[in-house]
Structure 1
Amino acid sequence: MPIASPFPTIDIPQKDIHSFLFEREDRPFPEDQVVYIDGNTKRQLTYADVRDQAKTFGTGLKSHWSWRKGDVLAVYSTNQIDTPPVVWGTLWAGGVITTANPGYGVEELSFQLKDSSARALVTLVDLLPIAIQAAANAGIPKDRIIVLGDKRTKEHRHWKDITDLSTSAKWRKTRILNPEEELAYLVYSSGTTGLPKGVMLSHKNIVANLLQFTPNDPLDWTEDRLVAFLPFFHIYGLTCLMHHAILRGLPTVVMDRFDLNKFCQHIQDYRVTFAYLVPPVILLLAKHPDVAKYDFSSLKMVNSGAAPLTRELVESVWARLRISIKQGYGLSETSPVTHSMRWSQWRSHVGSVGPLLANMTAKYVDEEGVEVPAGKPGELWMAGPNIMMGYLNNPTATVNAITPDGFFKTGDVGYQDGDGNFYITDRVKELIKYKGFQVAPAELEGLLLGHEKVDDCAVTGIYSPRIASEVPRAYITLSAGAERSKDTELELIKYVEDRVAQHKRLRGGIRFLDAIPKSISGKILRRVLRDIAKEEDEGEAVPKAKL
């Protein structure tokens, strides 16, 4: 039997995102409540500023370009406090937003613009060289490239110039008649195993998810503050920070990119009380020397998501800084949050992502797709109002991802404990298969991160012709002062060997890297590691000339 959420069912209103956020009767905070603060310039936007500027921008889209329901606007930018009014102005006009990674090059951005059929592109002055080429490749006219941010240029209109106040009275908000079936966002998967897929999220998906996860974080607009470096182009930052902040009136310091010292300074200066983080940042909190210079006493709780977090890291940060860390879980395809640890249980259930959120059901299945009993490991499948509509232009991938009865196949392996808390142990495709045994890279990574000489690490499987099987290999970034040597390698191999079952040993050895390859959301790029391993092993296989 599928697992039901322990929380009471929530009534999901049949509202579009803009109406849900800006036409509400239950708003507890005033219109002049500051919501977004620019971390660089200290410029602020209130709730009323965002609402009014969104309507003005939406009016401009309709006036200038006859914007119609379903037209797509692409946002290719780092975090800006003006991103929210641009996004919700587009939704006001009936449009769809696709968010693009500002680290993309011309080819990657061109693909997304073409795949999403974007009609216009919003970007920063500094990103114009790439944006102009990609827009041309996608058939977007040059006059539909809009500039965001404090810098301006004569060649392209600024987003605040996309308006027509003289005739604004004749324009009305586009009605969303069926929030469950009408597209709001196209967020693209990271593409670590191939071309990115456009995840289609409806208005109801986002509205539902906001109502599902926000009750689990007891925050109050009168005293709580957030910091936002997680990218708004990624679903984690888009929902949990950009949307969450304005829904609850939480003052949020917006960072255009992550910088450790600025991040720490903002927490200290603004007395930030809650932060949404990713494991690489938590790793810095545990080990980076600069962190000790700052005051973190205002932080009530930290939430970690986007990638697995080990017990060792949670305990290290607590021991060093007395910062409480809970975990959550979700995916782009689930809008994203599906699990969130209760604040009161972060110490008693370290490693868990918490219980299943309201209005959701879940089950674990084996490799044949047969449901396994609760408590037994398997692949996690979930159903609920926050599950995506499907993948854009990819019906085959959609059918493969969502079952006929509405369960999304996450591709993540885990189990549920007796208290109803879920644990995610690894990705199905990332499990290393050693002679019939399954080895979870995350488990070995957690062990290695507990060693004083390890600053960061990643484990992947490599094929060993000698034993005709995959074996685990660790890639390690050493702590300052640790020596790259055979002795260090043997020490770390022995460290793991003493703590794991026989089949989990690092038979593929250890390699040292300057940095572990990761996506912007903090996920280890194991595809890159496998490519590195292949090059290394091919190089070692080349016969050496005799002198």
Structure 2
Amino acid sequence: MSSKQIIYRSRTPAPKLPQQSVWSFLFDDVAFDDARLAYAECQGQERRITFGELKSAAQRLGASLLRSGLRPDDAVLLLLPNGIDFIVTLFATQFAGLRASFINPAYTRLELRHIWKTLGAKRIFVTSRLLPNLTKAGLPWDKAIVLDVDAGNATTFVGRLLISLEDSRRAEAHQPASLEQTCYLPWSSGTTGLPKAVELSHRNVVSMLLALQAIPDLYDGPKRTLGCLPFFHAVGLIKLVHLPLAMRGTLYILTPFRPDAFCDVVRKYQIQGTQAVPPIIVSLLSSAKGTQEYLGSLEHIACGAAPLSEELQSRAEKRFGVPILQSFGMSETTVSAVGMNHGMKSGSVGWLLPGLEARLLNDDDVDAAPGERGELLLRGPNITKGYFRNAEATRGAKTHDGWLRTGDVAVVDESGQFTIVDRKKELIKYKGFQVPPAELEGILLQHPSVAVAAVVGIYDAAQATELPRAYVQLHAGVAPSAELPRELQEWVKERTSAQKRLRGGVRVLEHVPVSASGKVLRKEMRALAKREQEALEGQPKARL
């Protein structure tokens, strides 16, 4: 086979990139008296904030942070729930030229300590409800800026930091020396366990926003968008927090997601677009309100983070009366790379976004022939420059000529549409969250009964997501018992984040296959899990 590169390119021209930072791109043409509604909370106090109020609040906090001793390029952490406080704080960091990183509140003590040590963060923005997370991880309270109350105990209440409104209005936003400078540091799980900080530059974020807006026939002006996905996740961060603002639309915030409440908000505010993951689609199908009567104002539902089956997509589109536009992306692509196209083949993730290039490599690292499957590689202005303080991981993820190895296996048809068909990397996707098998295997091996452990994902059609399942081999002399699988599930539950629990169960085997070097043969375990699932699905259902 020829080693010549076969490069697929977007059918839409790349938009011209302005020489602007994230702050300048979003706020340079916003006046302090701009009364257009930017964000609205649909729970609690149902707070609202206009474009002008947002710019004023973010600029005041950003200028105050610099006055308090922080310096451009300092790293700060946001341990905050979805809401207007998250958004104001986020954009304040961009006014000040800080590098903002986002913490999943479900992270364990070990994960939080790893993040703190890796970043060398100067400050942590937090609410009083989440302060115990710092205690759990042994992080210093004197670095905490509390947004909702004056919590004392060495913490800093944000209200005590703020300079006068008049002084803040005269402040100038920090201008980065280069648009390649890092502005955001979201976290991406690796196959070996602890998360890695993905470096996103100003150019990455601005190019991503422009590429999304340039998708043909998708956006024709400002939209009313409903957001219920976590803002610390790439989809929530870029497609919910940033994109509606860049398009001068309004984001309605609903947290946590509840299907009936979701449908009520769509009808009440005549929502035009939303972002979903497959489990949300399943929940809406189970809701009596998940019908065109409630959802009819939606122009589309964008679905990502994990594949949506062709059958489920077709069923949902028929019931909702709304097109579902799948997409593919990851934190390393800023959020997206393929999809969100009208006219997509059901089950596919569509065409490359404007400005993106792709290749498909087979197992020999040779470009796959048209129609053949291969690992998807991507290149473009939205691709991360690498992982923060992790050169080894960067070398493993990117080629010398700038291609990002996604670890996902795809095939492209004659029209240029991509379909994700497999995963080369070993990560399990649970409801859009990444679950590294090696981390769970390490936890299982700490149990006194377990000699060998293998964790794989099994697909649950009812929830439209993968579930982590463990296969274990016991130490010689340890007898299996009916209680042991549940005991091992609890063992993992107590030691890891909620999304990493063994919801697919635990199976005890006489022998877990390993290579000559002792490495678990996870491919064989996935095949075993697939046979078990097929056998289970083939069983006749009990009659009541």
Normalising by the smaller structure, the TM-score range is 0.7 to 0.9
Identify the residue that residue 80 of structure 2 maps to in structure 1. Answer: 77
Query: What secondary structure sits across from 1:238 in the alignment?
Result: helix
Give distance in 1, aligned partners of 2:214 and 2:33: 20
* Cα distance, 1:273–1:418 mapped onto 2, change above 3 Å: same
Displacement, 1:294?
6.6
* Cα distance, 1:521–1:225 mapped onto 2, change above 3 Å: farther
* Cα distance, 1:161–1:256 mapped onto 2, change above 3 Å: farther
Deviations 1:482-536 (A, max 9, x none): xxxxxxxxxxxxxxxxxxxxxxxxxxxxxxx9xxx9xx999x86x9468x44x43
Task: Between 154-163 and 66-75, report the one with greater CA deviation.
Answer: 154-163
Displacement, 1:279?
0.6
Give distance in 2, aligned partners of 1:246 and 1:296: 23
Deviations 1:355-400 (A, max 9, x none): 1111211100011211112321000001101110101121011011
* Cα distance, 1:376–1:120 mapped onto 2, change above 3 Å: same
Give distance in 1, aligned partners of 2:105 and 2:314: 34
Identify the residue that residue 64 of structure 2 maps to in structure 1. Answer: 60
Identify the residue that residue 187 of structure 2 maps to in structure 1. Answer: 188
Give distance in 2, aligned partners of 1:175 and 1:76: 26
Deviations 1:433-459 (A, max 9, x none): xxxxxxxx99x94xx73xxxx455647
Displacement, 1:167?
5.2
Identify the residue that residue 508 of structure 2 maps to in structure 1. Answer: 536
1:8 paired to 2:13: yes
TM-score by length of 2: 0.77
1:365 paired to 2:368: no
**Counterparts of residues 252-331 of structure 1 (less than 5 Å):** 252-289=251-288, 291=290, 295-331=294-330
Contact 2:471 2:508 in 1 (8 A): no
Give distance in 2, aligned partners of 1:357 and 1:521: 33
Contact 2:279 2:465 in 1 (8 A): no
* Cα distance, 1:431–1:274 mapped onto 2, change above 3 Å: closer
Identity of aligned residues (%): 31
Amino acid at match of 2:177: L
Displacement, 1:50?
1.1
Amino acid at match of 1:390: G
Displacement, 1:12?
1.0
Query: What secondary structure sits across from 2:118 in the alignment?
Result: helix
Identify the residue that residue 97 of structure 1 maps to in structure 2. Answer: 100
Give distance in 1, aligned partners of 2:37 and 2:353: 29
Query: What secondary structure sits across from 1:371 in the alignment?
Result: coil
**Counterparts of residues 342-361 of structure 1 (less than 5 Å):** 342-343=341-342, 345-346=343-344, 349-361=345-357
Give distance in 2, aligned partners of 1:30 and 1:362: 44
Deviations 1:144-165 (A, max 9, x none): 312235x554554443443222
Contact 2:7 2:357 in 1 (8 A): yes
Give distance in 2, aligned partners of 1:269 and 1:285: 17
Displacement, 1:426?
2.0
Displacement, 1:237?
0.6
Give distance in 2, aligned partners of 1:298 and 1:90: 35
Query: What secondary structure sits across from 1:239 in the alignment?
Result: helix
Displacement, 1:537?
3.0
Give distance in 2, aligned partners of 1:20 and 1:521: 36
Give distance in 1, aligned partners of 2:89 and 2:360: 40
Amino acid at match of 1:176: P
Deviations 1:126-161 (A, max 9, x none): 111112453x53xx4x34312235x55455444344
Give distance in 2, aligned partners of 1:167 and 1:315: 55
Identify the residue that residue 33 of structure 1 maps to in structure 2. Answer: 36
1:123 paired to 2:107: no
**Counterparts of residues 296-445 of structure 1 (less than 5 Å):** 296-343=295-342, 345-346=343-344, 349-430=345-426, 445=459
Displacement, 1:428?
0.7
Displacement, 1:247?
0.6
Amino acid at match of 2:86: T
Contact 1:200 1:392 in 2 (8 A): yes
Identify the residue that residue 438 of structure 1 maps to in structure 2. Answer: none
Contact 1:304 1:327 in 2 (8 A): yes
Displacement, 1:97?
0.2
Query: What secondary structure sits across from 2:208 in the alignment?
Result: helix
Give distance in 2, aligned partners of 1:144 and 1:96: 16
* Cα distance, 1:457–1:230 mapped onto 2, change above 3 Å: closer
Gap regions ≥5 residues in structure 1: 433-440, 466-512, 541-547
Identify the residue that residue 219 of structure 1 maps to in structure 2. Answer: 219
Give distance in 1, aligned partners of 2:497 and 2:311: 21
Deviations 1:296-338 (A, max 9, x none): 1111110100001100111111232222211011110000111
Contact 1:265 1:294 in 2 (8 A): no
* Cα distance, 1:287–1:365 mapped onto 2, change above 3 Å: same
* Cα distance, 1:114–1:5 mapped onto 2, change above 3 Å: same
Aligned residues: 456
Give distance in 1, aligned partners of 2:86 and 2:503: 34
Amino acid at match of 2:113: S
* Cα distance, 1:19–1:228 mapped onto 2, change above 3 Å: same
Identify the residue that residue 477 of structure 1 maps to in structure 2. Answer: none
Displacement, 1:259?
2.3
Contact 1:413 1:428 in 2 (8 A): yes
* Cα distance, 1:147–1:220 mapped onto 2, change above 3 Å: farther
Give distance in 1, aligned partners of 2:227 and 2:121: 27
Give distance in 1, aligned partners of 2:33 and 2:298: 25
Q: CA RMSD in A?
A: 3.3
